[in-house]
Amino acid sequence: MKKRAWIVFLDESGVSLLPEVRRTYALRGRTPTLRHRLNWKRAGMAAAPGYHAADPERGPRLCFHLKPGSYDTTSLIEVLEQIKTFYAGEPVVLVWDGLSAHWSRGMRAWAAEQDWLTLERLPAYAPELNPVELLWSAIKTRELANLAGDHLADVADAAERGIHRVCSSEQLPWSFLTHTGLIIHP
């Protein structure tokens, strides 16, 4: 009998020292002011929520990676190696978008050597089909909203707190998948 695979969605996003400006409440006549250093230091985040195709009782799993700068083919291969360890070599169907690093020659060559991994591409211009986009929205509208950190570590810590909040909820990761309208069939 063939083992059932995990369906894993992967996406990257970035955070910086520039705050994610969001609407907030304040006393009348006391407009809130965000003071920050005009600094473009950035960190890249990659998240990969996984849903088991045959056994929803196993629950969703979330793999998260954070690094200074942005992602390229080499750093994405490192993330995929961590996903392989995270899922203990179980079969994974990885669904991601058309970012050039996802489909580069080096990535395709590496993926061809992996017996645990199958790559699938989301349709172009369809972020609404990716549950990770909803994860980013949840974190950026709560933990990162109006955060004017002095150091990139402050912003990274807030992002990690958001990931822990999502992981501690049994329903939130499922709601991301449900909101896309996608259904995982065994």
The pLDDT tens digits of the residues spanning 86-128 come to 998 799 999 999 888 999 999 999 999 999 999 999 998 888 9
The pLDDT tens digits of the residues spanning 45-95 come to 999 999 988 887 788 999 999 998 889 999 999 999 999 999 987 999 999
Backbone φ and ψ for 145, nearest 5 degrees, come out as -65, 125
Mean pLDDT for the chain overall: 85
End-to-end, the C-alpha distance of the chain in Å comes to 13
Beta bridge partners of 120: 95
Q: Is 87 helix (H, G, I), strand (E, B) or coil?
A: coil
Q: What distance lies between CA 21 and its chain's CA centroid?
A: 20
CB 6 within 8 A of CB 61: yes
Q: Is 55 helix (H, G, I), strand (E, B) or coil?
A: coil
How many angstroms separate the CA atoms of 158 and 174, rounded?
22
The pLDDT tens digits of the residues spanning 154-177 come to 888 889 999 999 999 889 999 999
Q: Per the confidence metrics, is the pTM higher than 0.75? A: yes
Q: Is 121 helix (H, G, I), strand (E, B) or coil?
A: strand
Closest CA to 137 of 170, 181, 172, 168: 172
Residues in contact with 149: Cβ distance below 8 Å, sequence separation at least 6, in sequence order: 17, 36, 155, 158
